[in-house]
Structures are given as C-alpha cells and as structure tokens.
C-alpha cells in the first residue's frame, strides 16, 4: 500500500467515526490551548510588571538614612544618621563603580497658577534624575546642569500636576508659585504608569533643580537645614551593581563614622533585587501553569490511546482479512500509527491556531496595569509542538503494535463467533 492510499484509507476511517474522532481531537486540542494560554498569561504578567517597574527607575538603588545598630568608632548604637546636601560629591569620588550618585530633597508645598491651586510635592535633584527615574518629557525640557548650578527658578510639571494647575491650557512659559515663590514652567512630563514610589507618583510632582530646592524649600526643624531625604545611585553596569552598592556603603560609613556592614544605618531600596525576586516568582508561576497544561495534554494522549485500542478491537475482522490477503505487519502497523499521528497533529494544530488567535484577539483590548497581554513566545510554541509530537508517538505506538500483532485466523474466528 502506497503512502497516498494509506493516508486516504486513514482519513476515510476517521470520517466514518466522526464523533469518536471529534471527542479525541478535542482532548488534545484542549491540552495545547491550556499550555499556551497559561504560559502566555504568566509571560504577559512578567513583561507588564517589568515595564511598569522600569518606569520607576532603571537599575536604581535608593539610600535612606536610618539609625546605627552596631557600635563603631567609639560611637554608641542607635545614633540617628541624616545625609547632608554635599555628601554625594564625596561618595561619587569614592564609589568608582557608580555612574550616578545624586541627592534628592522633596517637600509638600502649596502651589498655585493663574487658574488653580493644589498642594503638591516639590522635589529636586540633579539633571540625570530624569534618566535614572525614567521621567519622560512630553513638552519643553527637563532642567539642565546650568539651571542647577545657578539655582534657577524653573519647574518641570508632572502630567497630573499640569492638569491640576492648568487644565487643558498650555503650561510652557507660564508662572507657578511654590510657597509664594514664582517659578517658570519649562517642561511637562508625559503620562506613565508607576508601580511603586517612596514619596508619591511622579505624575503628581513638581520637579525643580537641586540648587533651587535646597535654597527655597529646605527641610524644616528639627531636621538640619542642609539635610536631604535620600541618595539615588545607579551603577555603571549591571555587572558592577554589587560593587557600586558596597562602595557607597563604605563611603557613607566613612563620613558618618559607622560600620559599613550596618544595614540599619543606611537602608537600601534596591530595584534590581526587587525585579529579580518578582522574576523568580513569575518564572515559577509559568512553570507551574505549564505543568498543569502538560498534564492536560498527557491525559488527552491517554484518551487517544484508549480510543485507538477500542478501534483495534472493533476492527479485528478487518485486520484479520487484510492480513489473510497478504497485508504485512508493517502495513498494519503503519496504518494505525498514521491514523493516531494524524488525529494528534491535526487536533494540536487546531489547538495552537485557536490559542494564537485568542491571544491576538485579547491583546487588541486595553490591558490593565501590570499586564502586557497574552504573550505567546516562539519558545512556548516550539515547546508545545515538541510535547505534542511526543504525545503523538506515545499514543500511537501501543495501539499500532496491538493491531499489527493480531493473528488473522484468531481474528476471523473471534469475529465469526461473535
């Protein structure tokens, strides 16, 4: 029997038993759809969270002053630490693995324009703050080094702060009063999603040069007038991340005379460590959901095997007649093997097509925050196809072997007796 005749005979047999074929194919297709949708959902969650986290900061460490928990240099434990506005200059010289070391100071202030007023956080740092903290510019510009050096009274508005103060009106070139001090608006921020913050969302802030904020909006007593809230640190590369962190700890400990291993004296919010922890969680979720889908697929394969074994029993006389007229064991084995593989591959192909189409349809809708949609990667499709091929072979081998082993005389006697 040629392969063409074998294929035609197989398709004819499958069409004769349409209901059985449909139910068998549905089990396999459902397993493939389950695997792909579960993996796509976990990947969408991972990518969505990563995008939102990047909107907070790129490979960023935030050093916040605390209290010493260890004795050092003759100083008692429990001593309060507070960063000063010039500390960053010394730390930057000492921490050679760091790309940026920047001070940040922010205080809530009454802000008003010609059209409206609000209480907003006025925050100041150095110009690289816009890059490190992912502050996108929609209009105008962010403040520069010259603005900072001269302490110019210029303001960059968060998108929500602009709406509160100006509504739909143009803000560039307008004047806003911060605690009664006039500042000129030089830029407006683009809207962005943000998953976390230490002092509020960036879209609701007013950004001014550090030279201006330390002069016009210093911390009030009991804080020292030249104190700052935190230091923002970015390493030169991911490979130097831990080195940079240790160098900053060591430099700050040298300035304030405490043990550099004292993590309570300098608390660090490390966005890289947070991202790694979340990535491990989503990777674990992806593997777990993939395993659930794999179990569904294997159960579907067992269903195919059972159905084909029933088919072998139902077609005992047919097998006996074919072998009696000269059909070889190889041709009988090939017929049932091809029949099973066609059922599994066709159902798997339909399942993959349905999963891809459903993902594409869902992704046309607006996605919620932290979720990038149902993202089916080529790796997931390749893995699903490999699993499908394995299930096809496993489901086909045993029934095909049973069919090929049927003795023609026994088969005819069994059928005649039945």
Q: What is the pLDDT of residue 38?
A: 78
Please tell me whether residue 91 adopts helix, strand or coil conformation.
Answer: helix
Q: What is the pLDDT of residue 205?
A: 94
Angle between the 18-54 and 271-314 helix axes, to the nearest 10 degrees? 180
Give the pLDDT band of residue 364 (cuts 50, 70, 90).
confident
pLDDT at residue 42 tops 50 = yes
Q: Which residues contact 278 (CB under 8 A, 6 or more apart)?
A: 46, 49, 53
Give the pLDDT band of residue 414 (cuts 50, 70, 90).
low
Number of neighbouring beta carbons within 10 Å of residue 366? 5
Beta bridge partners of 111: 118, 178
> What does the block give as tokens for 358?
């459903």
Q: What is the pLDDT of residue 112?
A: 94
What percentage of the chain has pLDDT greater than the value 70?
Answer: 78
pLDDT at residue 418 tops 50 = no
pLDDT at residue 56 tops 60 = no
The average pLDDT across 295-312 equals 70
Q: What's the pLDDT tens digit per position in 209-267?
A: 999 999 999 988 777 778 998 999 999 888 898 999 999 999 999 999 888 888 888 88
The average pLDDT across 202-214 equals 94
Q: What is the pLDDT of residue 72?
A: 64
pLDDT at residue 274 tops 80 = no
């Amino acid at each position: 029997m040629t392969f063409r005749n074998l294929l035609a005979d197989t398709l004819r047999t499958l069409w004769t038993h349409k209901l059985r074929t449909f139910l068998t194919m549905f089990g396999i297709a459902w397993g493939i759809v389950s695997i792909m949708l579960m993996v796509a959902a976990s990947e969408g969650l991972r990518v969505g969270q990563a995008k939102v986290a990047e909107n907070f900061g790129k490979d960023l460490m935030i050093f916040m002053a605390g209290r010493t928990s260890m004795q050092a240099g003759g100083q008692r434990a429990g001593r309060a630490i507070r960063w000063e506005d010039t500390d960053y200059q010394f730390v930057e010289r000492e921490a050679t693995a760091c790309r940026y070391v920047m001070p940040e100071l922010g205080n809530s202030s009454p802000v008003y324009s010609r059209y409206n007023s609000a209480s907003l956080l006025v925050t100041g740092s150095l110009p690289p703050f816009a890059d490190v903290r992912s502050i996108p510019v929609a209009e105008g510009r962010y403040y520069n080094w010259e603005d900072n050096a001269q302490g110019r009274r210029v303001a960059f508005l968060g998108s929500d702060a602009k709406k509160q103060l100006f509504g739909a009106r143009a803000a560039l070139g307008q004047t806003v009063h911060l605690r009664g001090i006039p500042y000129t608006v030089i830029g407006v921020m683009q809207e962005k999603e943000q998953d976390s913050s230490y002092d509020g969302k960036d879209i609701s802030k007013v950004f001014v040069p550090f030279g201006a904020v330390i002069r016009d909006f210093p911390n009030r007593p009991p804080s020292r007038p030249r104190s700052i809230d935190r230091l923002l640190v970015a390493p030169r590369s991911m490979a130097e991340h831990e080195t940079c962190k240790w160098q900053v700890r060591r430099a700050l400990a040298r300035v304030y005379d405490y043990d550099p291993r004292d993590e309570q004296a300098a608390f660090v919010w490390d966005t890289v460590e947070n991202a790694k922890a979340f990535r491990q969680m989503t990777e674990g979720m992806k593997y777990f959901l993939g395993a659930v889908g794999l179990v569904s697929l294997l159960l579907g394969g067992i269903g195919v095997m059972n159905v084909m074994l029933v088919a072998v029993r139902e077609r005992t006389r047919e097998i006996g007649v074919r072998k009696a007229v000269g059909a070889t064991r190889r041709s009988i084995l090939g017929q049932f093997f091809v029949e099973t593989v066609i059922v599994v591959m066709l159902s798997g192909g339909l399942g993959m097509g349905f999963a891809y189409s459903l993902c594409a349809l869902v992704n046309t809708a607006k996605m919620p925050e932290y979720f990038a949609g149902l993202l089916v990667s080529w790796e997931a499709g390749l893995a699903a196809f490999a699993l499908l091929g394995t299930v096809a072979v496993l489901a086909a081998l045993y029934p095909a072997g049973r069919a090929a082993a049927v003795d023609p005389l026994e088969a005819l006697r069994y059928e005649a007796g039945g």
